Amino acid sequence: MREYNREQWQSFAAVKAALDKMQDGEIAALRSTVEPYIAFRRELRAFHERFFAPHCMARCFETAQSACCGFESIFTFFSDQAITYLLSGPEERDRIFQALLHPFRSDRCVYLGPKGCVWVLPPISCAFFYCDAVKEQVFAADPQAASIWRHLREAEKAFTYPDRPVLFDTVEALFRAHGVDSPHMYFHKSPGLLRIKREAGLVADRPRRGPLSAEETIGS
Which are the contacts of 162, defined by CB distance < 8 A and separation ≥ 6?
A: 168, 169, 187, 193, 196, 197, 200, 202
Tell me, rounded to whole angstroms, the distance of Cα 101 from its chain centroid: 20
| The pLDDT value given to residue 196 | 97
| Full pLDDT tens readout for the chain, 220 residues | 889 999 999 999 999 999 999 999 999 999 999 999 999 999 999 999 999 888 876 666 555 565 566 566 688 999 999 999 999 999 999 999 999 998 876 667 889 888 888 999 999 999 998 888 889 999 999 999 999 999 999 999 999 999 999 999 999 999 999 999 999 999 999 999 999 999 999 987 654 444 433 333 334 3
> What are the φ and ψ backbone dihedral angles of 213, each rounded to 5 degrees?
-75, 170
Give the start-to-end residue ranges of the domains of the chain.
Answer: 3-189, 190-220
Q: In this predicted model, what pLDDT tens digit does every residue of 102-123 receive, in sequence order?
A: 887 666 788 988 888 899 999 9
Q: Return the bridge partners of 113, or none.
A: 116
| The pLDDT value given to residue 156 | 97
| The pLDDT value given to residue 69 | 62
Distance CA 53, CA 155 (A): 21
Full 3-state SS string of the chain: CCHHHHHHHHHHHHHHHHHHHCCHHHHHHHHHHHHHHHHHHHHHHHHHHHHHHHHHHHHHHCCCCCCCCCCCCCCCCHHHHHHHHHHCCHHHHHHHHHHHHCCCCCCCCCCEECCEECCCCCCHHHHCCCCHHHHHHHHHHCHHHHHHHHHHHHHHHHHHCCCCCCHHHHHHHHHHHCCCCCCCCHHHHCHHHHHHHHHCCCCCCCCCCCCCCHHHHCCC
> What are the φ and ψ backbone dihedral angles of 113, each rounded to 5 degrees?
-100, -175
Which are the contacts of 123, defined by CB distance < 8 A and separation ≥ 6?
A: 74, 75, 76, 77, 80, 84
Q: For the chain, what percent of residues have pLDDT higher than 90?
A: 69
Distance CA 174, CA 160 (A): 16
Tell which residue, 93, 31, 77, has the closest CA to residue 189: 77
